[in-house]
Amino acid sequence: MKQDPQEDFHGKRVVFRRKGEVGIEDFGLSQPEDHEVLIKTVSTLISTGTETAFLMALPNTPSRFPQYPGYSNAGVIIEVGAKVSTFREGDRVVSRENHASHVIASEDELMMIPDGLSFDEATFFALGSIALQGTRKAYIELGESVVVLGQGLVGQLALQLAKLSGGMPVIGVDLFNYRLDLSSKNGADYVLNPLEVDLEKEISKVTGGKGASVVIEATGNPEVIPIAFKLVGEYGRVIILGSPRGTSKVNFYPQIHKKAIRIIGAHESTRPMYESYHGWWTQRDDSLLVLRLISSGRLIAKDLITAKMGFQEAQDAYAKLVKEKNSVLGIVLDWNIS
């Protein structure tokens, strides 16, 4: 789709106009520069925790509007810049661009979608890489017990990746049984709802009284972090994967100091995190690996999609994610609807 060099192309995109208000607006796009491509979006995945936190202006978010959310874009290249050498028109690609009908992206940030993998599943490359860098930082050894607190999208992916890394048993914890049912379906050895069981007692039971070797905190709720310290065993590791939206109150002596545990921050921006035999693991490495894992069936993404909604329904989509956590997990926005 060639455009007049003097004429901007107008697309549509999601905007957070103000706290709690989501809209769709028109915007202009020029032709791609030499090393850029123009992509027609097919699907984008809402990053439930981060995007709803930004929308509701929770602590540790910018709280400035308007905002243009999204970083899980899958689409088709419809135009390439003059010096693009690695992609061509018609290629199916993912990028960390926004929720928009069309995006311009540098060829350096693009990744090809594996043959046979749907656009919807491919949108999980970004959240999958976030979960993966968190599990990498845990240094999980074969046979170590792993508890994942929170079974939202990132927690679900982290649980599967912990199991692929050798965690055993792998235990999913959440307040909503709908999420726990998905966790069981996708490989959790145990699932626990703190509203129904004594969490510390149950974790002690399934770990032979030792406590968990690794606890991955994936809720972003600051009140849950002290719980992670109680569940982890001596010399264990607590991975702060969810971005805390507030402050936590912790008694360091009994919960951390006396047990000699390690606390590891796992924000995705802290890359590379360690050196492997082939060099540093980068965001791109992990994103490509996630695409391969999903394509091969080793990492399950499709079960995490509760609904697919037209982009015009973005306000309703975010409202569902905020208000219906007991029945809604992942929402993909469909950009093929005119």
User: What is the set of domains in the chain, with CATH numbers?
Assistant: 9-124+301-334 (3.90.180.10), 128-275 (3.40.50.720)
Three-state SS for 231?
helix
Contact 238, 232 (CB under 8 A): yes
Task: Give the per-residue pLDDT at 270.
Answer: 83
The per-residue pLDDT for 292 is: 98
H-only helix segments in 3-114:
48-55
- Partners of 17 in the beta sheet? none
Angle at 20 between CA 63 and CA 323, to 5 degrees: 125
Closest CA to 126 of 317, 335, 330: 330
Q: How high is the pLDDT of residue 56?
A: 96
Residue segments in the chain with a per-residue pLDDT below the cut of 50: 1-7
Q: Which two tokens stand for residue 328?
A: 């809604």
Residues 6+ positions from 38 with CB-CB distance below 8 Å: 1, 9, 29, 31, 32, 77, 78, 79, 80, 102, 103, 104
Which spans in 138-275 are helix H? 153-164, 177-185, 199-206, 225-231, 252
Return the H-helix or E-strand segment holding 40: strand 36-45
Q: Using the 8-state DSSP alphabet, how is residue 143 labeled?
A: T
What are the helix (H) ranges across 186-323? 199-206, 225-231, 252, 283-296, 314-323
Burial class of residue 259, CB neighbours in 10 A (0-12, 13-18, 19+): middle
Determine the 3-state secondary structure of 78 from DSSP: strand
Q: Residue 6: its pLDDT value, please?
A: 39
Q: Phi and psi for 37 in degrees, rounded to 5?
A: -130, 155
- Tokens 């390690």 — which residue? 262
Distance separating alpha carbons of residues 54 and 283, to the nearest angstrom: 22
Residue 25's beta-bridge partner residues?
Answer: 13
